[in-house]
Amino acid sequence: MQKTIIVTGGGRGIGLAVIKRFVADGDTVVATDLKFGDEAKALAASANGKLTLVEGDVSKPADVAALVADAIARHGHIDILVNNAGVLLSKATVDTTIEDWTRVIAINLTGTWNCLHAVLPGMIARRSGRIINISSELGLIGFATYAAYCASKGGVIALTKAVAKEVAPHGVLVNSVAPGPIETDMLKYDTIEFNDETREQIPLRRFGQPDEIAAAVHFLAGPGGSYMVGQIISPNGGTAI
């Protein structure tokens, strides 16, 4: 049965890979991001109405409410939410400003909360739904100079577990995918030297690909995820075992 899916942070990288996976299945996707590039727009144009792009900011409750209302108006209900929107910050803790901290928490953690909070009433009423939060292995293990980012993603993991216990009796399954280093524009935020050093520390000696994370999301959203509640799946090449 074809599903209706919201994907946040769908303009590139992991989010775009997730969208491609669901569209290939014939599902209907409503994607949001601050802005969309040519690749996402071209995909929407060729998707025969199966992909709608909505620009917005997940840290703003009004934007999220409008997104969810539009998706329900178009498609009747929401089957799956993939909370992928996020920003990276690499800065020593003593140099991190309150503005830095607030921005990272607002998008990565509060944005995740805003979206799941908006879709849960409908899912609970229907006694059916899947929510997949993209966190990070750094939310599990921590990393120097990434305190704000680690805190935000650790918060996503804790949020996933708490909400999963609360809503599983209502037929809503909440889980998380916590990627290791994935070859996206976000990874390129760091220097080439850091990337080379990081690559050598990965047991597989390579960065992950967005498609590999999309596969984990697809698993949790499909029949294979039917008994998964509050789980943190971490495709990371062996960096966190």
Instruction: Please identify every residue annotated as catalytic.
Output: 149
Strand partners, 54: 32
115 within 8 A of 135, measured Cβ to Cβ: no
Q: What is the DSSP string of 44-78?
A: HHTTTTSEEEEE--TTSHHHHHHHHHHHHHHHS--
Residue with tokens 């409008």: 66
Which of these, 116, 148, 152, 155, lies nearest to 132 by C-alpha position? 116
C-alpha pair distances (Å), 125 with each of 66, 77, 128, 168: 20, 11, 8, 13
Q: How far does Cα 190 stand from its chain's mean position?
A: 20
- Cβ-in-10-Å burial (0-12, 13-18, 19+) of 241 comes to exposed
Between CA 177 and CA 61 the distance in angstroms is 24
